[in-house]
Amino acid sequence: MKNTSTDIGQLTETLDFQIEGAFSDQEGSEIMDSSSITSASDMGSRIGKGPHELSHETRRLLQKRLRAACVVLLFGFALFMIRGFFVLFPLDIRVLHLALMLFLLIGVIGLTAIEFRLGTLRFFEVSTFILVDCYLLATLWIQLHVAQLEDNPVAAVNAVKVTMLFTLILLTLYCMFIPNRWQKAAVMAVFFVFGLPAVLVASRLFSAPIRDWEAPIATLGNIAENELILLTAATAAVFGTHVINRLRGEVFEARQLGQYRLGVKIGAGGMGEVYLAEHKLMRRPCAIKVIRPERASDQKNVERFAQEVQAAARLSHWNTVEVYDYGKSEDGVFFFVMELLNGLSFQELVDQGGPLPPERVIYLVLQICEALEEAELVQLVHRDIKPSNLFTIIRGGRHDVAKLTDFGLVQSTQSSTNERNERRAISGSPLYMSPEQARGEKPDHRSDLYSLGVVLYFLLSGRPPFQGKNAIAILVSHSRDEVEDLKQLCPELPVALCDIVMKCLRKLPEERIQTAQQLKHALENVELENSWGQTEAMAWWASMDDSMLDLIRQRTSAGSGTISQPLSS
């Protein structure tokens, strides 16, 4: 059972996704309704300039790099323009040269005087480098024909070498200078690498004068040699991009955020990363969640991150993760600080020890019900209830204190579902998603109760009710298929408990248990052979095996005073 549970945990993380617009009637659907979050201006009044500042910082960095790249390219082409006074280029090349310089000059002026949106900058980035590469290839084509007319093989060979040299410079400039992930750098490198051989091959296939001219410029051996050089350079450049991005991440880990000193990364999700940290003055260990650097360029992600802060800050229940602080660093990194959970997630409990005894399951889930009661009162739907977002910890001398975490997909129930411009999306983790979420419908608090029912099923049986081959199959199962009766799967469980779980898993929200309070009362009335309280919880924590202790140490190894030296920023 342990191996099966581990596979399920891995599948959950793999399938933790957002299928934007999969069941939407509109193009460009978003992960959340705009009405489900507090406005950006409201958020800005609470936290400096607000979450938009982080996106602005990312955009500003790219604009600065693009402006510098255009200046370098403009300077290089200006030098060759001066050279043109001594070595007369064909008229076509001079016209292309001046046109490209004018484009770069306009780009430098525009990037200096105007603050462009991130999407516009990305378009200009790709357009500029592709345009420069196209210019190099066009001038090579012209120079080959001029060399053929003059019967000058040496000029043709030199033209190929010069083009290859400038292609290498352009490739290096793009991969090493423009901030990017290595995947995008690799895509651009493909264009740079195969442009030169494509022109040489085209000159032999489609240009009769070149094809009939006896010159060693487009032989298979020469093309292969040039291609190997370009491929080697491209590989090095793309690897360099990867190394630079990794170094940025390491520098980030060593950075201080306000009054907090960062330690090692202890968790990561689709959008945010969590770091071990401590307050520099109070020496209190805590966890800091920051938005992923590659996600920070998307305004929608930044707003979703801000929404998580707002939602968590509105909740104060003992069984909800506590938010200590939130803010923005000097270089625009948006972050929030929360309590450090010195315990295990429900997922880890099952992964390491298999299904839990029903008395402990009820003890833990009752506490989660209380946290969800508060969320219902403030009209928030968590939308991502799953074992990896639920923890059991030691707090205030009490053992098995349950904690509800990760409000990254939280949504308000106050917004109207009949708004014409409402944007729908499938959001959450497929293994624990309610039927209405799977269909892209707007969920309410009963959706969280369905997901909690799936968690109950998982904790009691060791597996969730549906385990399809892929995410879509699982979503279809939640929406359409009947759940295998828990009592048949685990005959030793109390009938009343199995009935409660199966009622939570009804397809129609109105047929389920309607509130977290009702679910709590139903669980409290289940008759059990054994009990679970502080005595049993303390005994379990005292007898915890090494694998579980290691998991907790990894998450809380920077206890008070262990981050003793400031990390360089």
Catalytic residues: 384
CB-based contacts of 272-280 (< 8 A; 24+ apart in sequence): 272/305, 272/308, 272/408, 276/340, 276/555, 276/556, 276/557, 276/558, 276/563, 277/337, 277/558, 277/563, 278/558, 278/560, 278/563, 280/256, 280/566
* Residue of 325, 315, 290 lying closest to 305 (CA atoms): 290
Taking each helix axis from N to C end, the angle separating 91-113 and 118-149, rounded to the nearest 10 degrees, works out to: 170
- Pairwise CA distance, residues 104 & 471, whole Å: 46
Q: Which residues pair with 290 in a beta bridge?
A: 273, 335
- Pairwise CA distance, residues 445 & 465, whole Å: 20
Full DSSP string of 114-157: ----HHHHHHHHHHHHHHHHHHHHHHHHHHHHHHHHTT-HHHHH
Structure tokens at 405: 């975490």
Cβ burial 467-494 (10 Å sphere, 16+ → b, else e): ebeebeebbbbbbeeebeebbebbeebb
Structure tokens at 162: 């010069």
HEC secondary structure over 394-443: EECCEEEEEEECCCCCCEECCCCCCCCCCCCEEEECHHHCCHHHHCCCCC
- Pairwise CA distance, residues 126 & 250, whole Å: 27
Taking each helix axis from N to C end, the angle separating 118-149 and 182-206, rounded to the nearest 10 degrees, works out to: 30
* Residue of 382, 250, 411, 401 lying closest to 339 (CA atoms): 401
Distances (CA, A) of 345 to 17, 183, 275, 390: 19, 33, 17, 5
- Pairwise CA distance, residues 167 & 81, whole Å: 18
Question: Which helix H or strand E contains 59, and what residues bound it?
Answer: helix 52-83
Place of tokens 């060399």: 147
- Pairwise CA distance, residues 299 & 34, whole Å: 12
562: helix, strand or coil: coil
Structure tokens at 148: 């053929």
Distances (CA, A) of 137 to 87, 96, 194, 298: 19, 11, 11, 34
DSSP state of 34: G
- Pairwise CA distance, residues 91 & 82, whole Å: 15
